[in-house]
Amino acid sequence: MPNAGWPWHVLFVGILCGPAGLCPVIGDAAAAAMPSSAQAASDPSTARPDRGLVYFPGDPAAAGNPAAAGNHGAAANHGAAAPESAPEAAPEPSWYGEITILEDHPAVQARIQYFQTEIPDRVQMWLNRFDRYQPMIEPVFAEFGLPRELIYLSLVESGFNPMAKSRARAKGAWQFMRGTGRMYGLRAKRLVDERHDPMKSTVAAAHHLRDLYDQFGTWPLAMAAYNAGAGKISRAIAKSGSRDFWTIAKSRRLIRRETRQYVPKFMALTMIAKDPARFGFAVEAQERHQYDEVRVGKPVRLRDVAKETNIPFQDLRGLNPELIRGIVPANGYDLKVPVGAGPRVAQAEPRLKPWAPAPRSRTWHRVRRGESLSVLARRFGTNVRTLKRLNDLSGTVILAGQRLRVREDAAESGDGKWYRVRRGDNLWKIARRFRVSVPDLKALNNLRGNMIYTRQMLLLAP
């Protein structure tokens, strides 16, 4: 019979974690309400007084979502110089066991040879980039009580590239699908996609991996589920009758080739990352990923911030890869800026011109009975010749119910001129049509390459 004096959330934690205290992080409110013995068994801050919860929110109801802890509480400076309460990852034992690296396994040896002989330049790039983010990743995984080796799983996923995108539309260094990311608090909206945020996605990945281990009980199966999905691995276990990854991987019908090679790749890259020189690699020391955060209370473009503060635009883009359109969203946002640049941004904010979305103008019209091209031309402020050109008409006959384009996809607003991309357009055509240069178009719209999409709104003039 449950103790009626315990709050419901304490009872829920007790059911999930069991008497052995298997949940490494619980809500602060629940922990406070527990009897001292239960709290000592389940609350990591009690069992290990040198560690404060920095990367995982205390009370989900108050924190909003698991991955939102990327702001690290009230700390304003992040990166290599971690907050004082951040843990030292190296000496702490894992609460979730250790991962045995099978150095002599044929599949692992085959992956090592592949990395050494087929793609050594790519692996070297991964190692160099990972060196920049490693001091940020290690404390997160240590706080979740996960084996340290799991930090190298990001090398398998993307070479820890925050801007990575897969054919399956997984994004970010940890390659989250939109739905899975949403489960762990990663927003994916028009202006912000937090799957690209190095810190928030790392917190979400640690949380997800911990949940998968709770479900499958071994790290090889948990990692395979991270790649293929928990449902796929559960079905493979049911069909094979085995809970051993290596047994399941022997069958080509149970899991895909990518998943069969996933764990061997992880083990091979872990061996290489731990001792690069042994395998012919030399990691070049990188500038650490560290930054200050400053609250920006209105929607502004990163280019405008860079111009007003003399902060290089590429630095702002690199620190805020989750701002996929280079625009700070409305309702306040913690913008990441180079260390020491926070006061400059705060002082410049009142001078920044608020960004406004492209105006929506009526571009199409469905012909009604009795209408003609001349009638429509007068109504929409154009001429018959333009209507014929926009709709590829050879004559002037139109039919009731027919959809006609009644104006170019451009509109004048207080913020400049906008154009909606049509099928067959490219930057060169649009630049020629509106008498602007391609470099100016790219700069105005924060485009890195020449790729544009149908119905995308482009700013033509500041």
SS (H, E, C) 58-110: CCHHHHCCHHHHHHCCCCCEECCCCCCCCCCCCCCCCCCCCCCCCCCCHHHHH
Q: Is 241 exposed, middle or buried (0-12, 13-18, 19+ CB in 10 A)?
A: exposed
Residue whose entry in the numeric block shows the structure tokens 């959809």: 403
Task: Look at residue 318 in the predicted model and tell me its pLDDT.
Answer: 94
**pTM listed for this prediction:** 0.65
Superfamily of domain 364-459: LysM domain (3.10.350.10)
Q: At what angle do helices 257-274 and 120-143 cross, to 10 degrees?
A: 80
The class of domain 106-279 in CATH terms is mainly alpha
| Confidence check: pLDDT of 393 > 70 | yes
- Give me the amino acid identity at 415: D
In this predicted model, what pLDDT tens digit does every residue of 142-178 receive, in sequence order?
A: 999 999 999 999 999 999 999 999 988 899 999 999 9
**What mean pLDDT do residues 100-113 have?**
96
Contact criterion met (CB below 8 Å) for 200 and 70: yes
Helix count and strand count (H, E) for the chain: 21, 10
- Average per-residue pLDDT for the chain: 80
DSSP letters for 182-203: HHTT--B-SSBBGGG-HHHHHH
The answer to which of 46-50, 198-202, 271-275, 407-411 has the lowest mean pLDDT is 46-50
- Partnered with residue 294 across adjacent β-strands are 335
- Inform me whether the pLDDT recorded for 52 exceeds 70: no
pLDDT band at 446 (very low <50, low <70, confident <90, very high): confident
pLDDT, position 336 = 96
**Span 243-249, average pLDDT:** 96
Q: Does residue 305 have a pLDDT over 90?
A: yes
pLDDT of residue 44: 36
H/E stretch holding 394: none
Q: Tell me how far apart the alpha carbons of residues 35 and 50 are, in angstroms, rounded to a whole number.
A: 21
Model confidence band, residue 77 (pLDDT cutoffs 50, 70, 90):
low
Per-residue DSSP letter, 57? -
Between 437 and 205, whose confidence is greater? 205
Looking at residue 359, its pLDDT comes to 55
Q: What torsion, rounded to 10 degrees, do the Cα atoms 136, 141, 144, 149 define? A: -170
Per-residue pLDDT band at 55 (split at 50, 70, 90): low
Q: What is the phi/psi pair of residue 188, to 5°? A: -135, 90
Q: How far apart are CA 423 and CA 453, in angstroms?
A: 8
pLDDT-derived band at 220 (thresholds 50, 70, 90) equals: very high
Is the pLDDT at 68 greater than 80? The verdict is no
In sequence order, what are the residues at sequence separation of 6 or more whose Cβ sits closer than 8 angstroms to the Cβ of residue 167?
none
Confidence (pLDDT) at 86? 40
The CA distances from residue 55 to 85, 103, 109, 156, in Å, are 10, 32, 35, 23
* Cα 300-305-306 angle, rounded to 5 deg: 145
Exposure class string for 129-144: b at 16+ Cβ within 10 A, else e: bbbbbbbbbbbbbbbb
What was the pLDDT predicted at 60? 35
Q: What angle do CA 320, 322, 324 make, to 5 degrees?
A: 105
DSSP label of 48 = S
268: tokens are: 């091979």
Query: Which range, of 91-95, 297-301, 317-321, 345-349, averages the lowest pLDDT?
Result: 91-95
pLDDT of residue 462: 63
What residues does CATH 3.10.350.10 cover in the chain? 364-459
8 A C-beta contact, residue 242 and residue 204: no
Residues 266 and 152 sit within 8 Å (Cβ to Cβ): yes
Phi, psi of 91 (to 5 degrees): -80, -10
The model's confidence at residue 275, banded by pLDDT at 50, 70 and 90, is very high
pLDDT band at 331 (very low <50, low <70, confident <90, very high): confident
pLDDT top residue among 56 and 392: 392
Confidence of residue 73 (pLDDT cuts 50, 70, 90): very low
- Rounded percentage of the chain residues whose pLDDT exceeds 70: 76
**More confidently predicted of 379 and 246:** 246
For the chain, the C-alpha Rg in angstroms (whole number) is 27
Q: Which residue intervals of the chain bear CATH 1.10.530.10? A: 106-279
